[in-house]
Structure formats: C-alpha cells, structure tokens
Amino acid sequence: MSVSVSLKTRNREYHFRICAWHLSIVLGAFALLIGLVVTRQMDQIDPAQLKVAEQRIENEVKAAQLDALRQSTALQLQQLAGRVGMLQAHAQRLEALGARLTEVHQLDSAEFDFGAEPPVGGPVELVTNVQMVDPGTKLAEILEKIDRLSAQLNDRSRQLALLENLLLNHQISDESYVSGRPISDGWLSSYYGMRTDPFTRKPAMHKGIDFAGKEGGDVVATGAGIVTWASRRSGYGELVEINHGSGVTTRYGHNQELLVEVGDVVTKGQVIARMGSTGRSTGPHVHYEVLKQGRQIDPIKYVYRKAK
C-alpha cells in the first residue's frame, strides 16, 4: 500500500509515491513532537495555580447551585405564606359565622365557643432520627402556623357540623329539600354553561342560571336552611348564600336589598332579598347557583324538581 502526492508549480509538476510504512514513521514522529511540546508546557504550569483554578471552578458551581436552591426555597415560602393567609381568612369567617349562630339561637356558649382554642392533649410520643428545623427560621414559623390553623379549622368545622344538625333538624328538615324558582315573578334569561360574556363578548363559563324580572321584585329561598353569607361579594354584587345541609348550598346574586342576615334560619319560599342589578350585571335579575360539596352544578334540574 502506498500514497501518491502531486505538487505543481508554475514551470513543473512533481509526483511522489510514499509507502505506508514511511508515512507511519512521519506521522509517529509528528505526534511525538506534539506530545513533547504539550508536556513541556504542562511542566511549566505551577501546581499551586492549577489547584487554585480547580477550586475557583468548584466554588462557582456550588454558588450557582446555592443560588438556584435559594430561589426555589423563596418561591415555596411565598406560596406557603399565601396559603396561611387564606387559612386565616377562612378561620375568621367560620368564627364569625359560628358566633352569630350561637348568639341568634341562644345555644350553649361553652360548647360552641368559637373564639377559644380547641382543648387538646394526649401522651407524648418521642420521635427520633428526624432532622430538626431551626425554630427561628421563617419556614419553621410558617409550618407552625399551618399546623395551628389546621387544628383550629378542624375544631370549627366540627362545631359547625353540630350546629347544622341542631338547626336544620329543628322543624325545617322537610323544607330543606331544594326545588323551584328563586323568584316570585319573572323569566329565565340565561342558562348554565358556556355563553358569550355580556361584557367581554368572549366565550365564558356561566356557573349558574339567570332569572330576569322587575327591579325590587321578590327573591325567594328555594329551600329551608341557614344563611351563611349576606353581604356584597366581588362579581355577585349583594349576595345571599344558604346552606341547606347534606352538602347543598344555593346562592342568589345581584340583589338590590338583602332582607336576611348571617345566621338566620329561613324557610322554603321566604322572601330573602329584592331583585336588583348590583355587581357585574347588565340589568335587574337574579343569578342563581346550586353548589354540591362546594362545586357549582347545573341548577336547572332543581328548578324543575317536584317539591316534596
């Protein structure tokens, strides 16, 4: 095996033929020369400088990792703090509702004391092999608040469940069956589901049904229950919310005037408000919602449901 090489000048052209073993000798010599040059250059580098450079690279990598961890932790703390705020607002609302119900219906204030911390206790169980968190850190404080709020909410929910059973079973259990229209006079003007939003003119989900009528017309409860909201709420305007037990809640929005208060026990067909156009509304009507276990469902089957 051989390799042919051609060289051409202005006046003459040269041809060479190199055998394979000659070529391997030339390449080996060239590689040896390169190796000697590189080795000489490496020998001239101070080992201390090389170690410093390696340490600098390692520190930069660790700093980048620490910065990414710090940003992730800060985001998690921000999310936890927001969750604590929501839990605190929910606990305050439950306390206000429970205190109102206890006062209105003259129940035992010792049993239904919504302002006090729930009595707790039990034997101590030591936990080992757990990495402790510095109690002075922000994370430890947030986690402690979450634990305290969770216990508080569990206690408030238990007390409210007892109140619901006591009040709903007091001569209104048969009437808590939700059915019929939430108005005395008027007509159904918008159904549950996707529709063109009257303000943005874009497709939007409508989580209730609308009944139009005259300004100041009667808005009636579609079932007996306990009023859990009677005030203004964003989007709804002046809103009434009624808990009917068994996980069923109804809402009546955009009212002109409210005729009930939180804690009132209302009966089926009772006038609870006057029709209006408060909140996000284009004219006098009632926005009617039915919630099952806290989620809006289509109310139409309740509207045409036969009363017991």
pLDDT(190) > 60: yes
CA 248 – CA 296 distance, rounded (Å)? 10
Mean pLDDT of the 151-161 span:
66
Q: Compute, in degrees rounded to 10, the torsion defined by CA atoms 288, 209, 285, 203.
A: 130
Q: What is the dihedral sign for C-alpha 152, 153, 154, 157?
A: positive
Question: Is the overall model pTM greater than 0.85, yes or no?
Answer: no
Amino acid at 208: G
Q: Which helix (H) or strand (E) holds 91?
A: helix 47-104
> Mean per-residue pLDDT for 34-56?
62
Interval 48-57: pLDDT, tens: 666 666 677 7
**pLDDT tens digits for range 272-282:** 999 999 999 99
Whole-number Å distance between alpha carbons of 252 and 220? 9
Q: Smallest Cα–Cα separation from 262: which of 225, 216, 299, 222?
A: 225
Of the candidate CATH numbers 3.40.50.2300, 2.60.40.10, 3.40.50.800, 2.70.70.10, the domain formed by 176-303 belongs to 2.70.70.10
Q: Alpha-carbon torsion 270, 253, 210, 177, what sign?
A: negative
- The residue assigned the tokens 């634990």 is 147
